[in-house]
Every structure is written in C-alpha cells, then in structure tokens.
Amino acid sequence: KAGVTQTPRYLIKTRGQQVTLSCSPISGHRSVSWYQQTPGQGLQFLFEYFSETQRNKGNFPGRFSGRQFSNSRSEMNVSTLELGDSALYLCASSLGGGDTDTQYFGPGTRLTVL
Amino acid sequence: AQSVAQPEDQVNVAEGNPLTVKCTYSVSGNPYLFWYVQYPNRGLQFLLKYITGDNLVKGSYGFEAEFNKSQTSFHLKKPSALVSDSALYFCAVRVSNSGYSTLTFGKGTMLLVSP
C-alpha cells in the first residue's frame, strides 16, 4: 500500500506571496492532519480534516487554511507569506482520526520564504 | 491541557550498548502515547504506541517502551543500539476523553550512536 505523499517536496517563495501544498493520504484513510516543524518551535499542529470537514484547529493565524476533497486528498494554503513561515510542513493520515489511531506521516514539503 | 517533555536534547550511546530515550507526559485523563523517529530530510516514522493493557510495548526495529502511570513516563528503549538508529526521536500524547483529540509532540531527542 502506498504511503502518504506530499507535493511539492521543496518550495521557494518570497514574502507576500501565497503557497498551496498538497497531501494524498494512504488509501482508505479519511483523516488528514497538518503540522509545521521548525527548529525553534518543534512540531506544531495546524489542523485536521475528516470527511471534508475541519475537525480540529491549532493556534495559527487565519493566513493558514486548508481543505479536504471527497477523495480525502487535502491541501493547505498559506497567504501573505512571512519569513517565519519557513518550515517543513508535514501531512499525516489515519483511518478515522480517533484517539487510538496511528498517524502516518508523509515526507514533508520544505518551504523557504525569502 | 496535555503536554509532553523530553528532558534530553541529545543522547549519546556506543553501538551495541542499550539505549534509553526519556519521555514524561502531563494529561488530565487517560493517555495514549506514541513514539516516532525522523531521519534527516524525511517525515516521521511510527515506532510504537501504548493504548491500554501490558505496560511494555514492543515496536518496530527492536524498540520497546514502558508505560509507567505513577511516574507519568513512557521511555523508549532498545537492548543493543545500532549506528543506523541515529536519528531524531519524538514522543507524543493524546488524551482519551475527547474522541478526536489532537496529537501533542515533545521537542524531540537526537540520538547519536557511535561505532
């Protein structure tokens, strides 16, 4: 079974631009979560989608948004990029997103904002 | 609120020796605990989890972890370290009382295994 895939793997943008990242979950998984990883803040939860609905949201500004499609694929968007948005963005999928479910992570998208 | 602490930024061990990576947690409710490993420029790989039952959990690549409720700890262990175990290790926790709670990660511990 194929793992979680994320595209693109690397992105370079300039301040003020916007960016869209894509995540395809493991087949049959309906929950997709997004995380931001930085050296200073570690792994921080952005949001989780299940059946096209945002079920949980982390403490990030409204510039960060996401959505999920009927095939469970998910996208996240960051508008008006800031230098501090440079990070590794990780997507994780799980069967139903329940408390005991294991999340399986993709390789991440490395975003650099200049 | 739930939180996870990994008190050591880095753990150094010689190949063949046992290794321990420490994790303590703080939750109001019953915890579900996870360990992940991250290799350079890669995503996180699932190692093992504790849900309920036996306090000793066995996982991938020879790793195991012991759940200790009284000490609120979930330390990761391996009897004999390999150089290839060198990586960044994350402990994570969820609380069982909300159905669909978020996963909270520790800051990570870098494990360096020397030949």
Q: Is A11 at the interface with chain B, CB within 8 A? A: no
pLDDT tens for B79-95 read 999 999 999 999 999 87
Q: Are strands B109-114 and B10-14 parallel, antiparallel or unpaired?
A: parallel
Q: How far apart are CA A71 and CA A74, in angstroms?
A: 9
Mean pLDDT of B41-67: 94
pLDDT tens for A20-46 read 999 999 999 999 999 999 998 999 999
Q: Do A50 and B105 touch (CB under 8 A)?
A: no
Closest-approach residue (CA) in chain A for B35: A102
Cβ pair B77, B65 in contact under 8 A: yes
| B residues 68-97 closer than 8 Å to A (CB) | 90, 94-96
Question: Which of B90, B102, B107 has the most A C-beta neighbours within 10 Å, making it the best mutation to test the interface with A?
Answer: B102
Q: Which residues make beta-bridge pairs with B50?
A: B33
Answer yes or no: is pLDDT of B96 > 80: no
> Which segments of chain A have a pLDDT < 50?
none
Answer yes or no: is pLDDT of B2 > 90: no
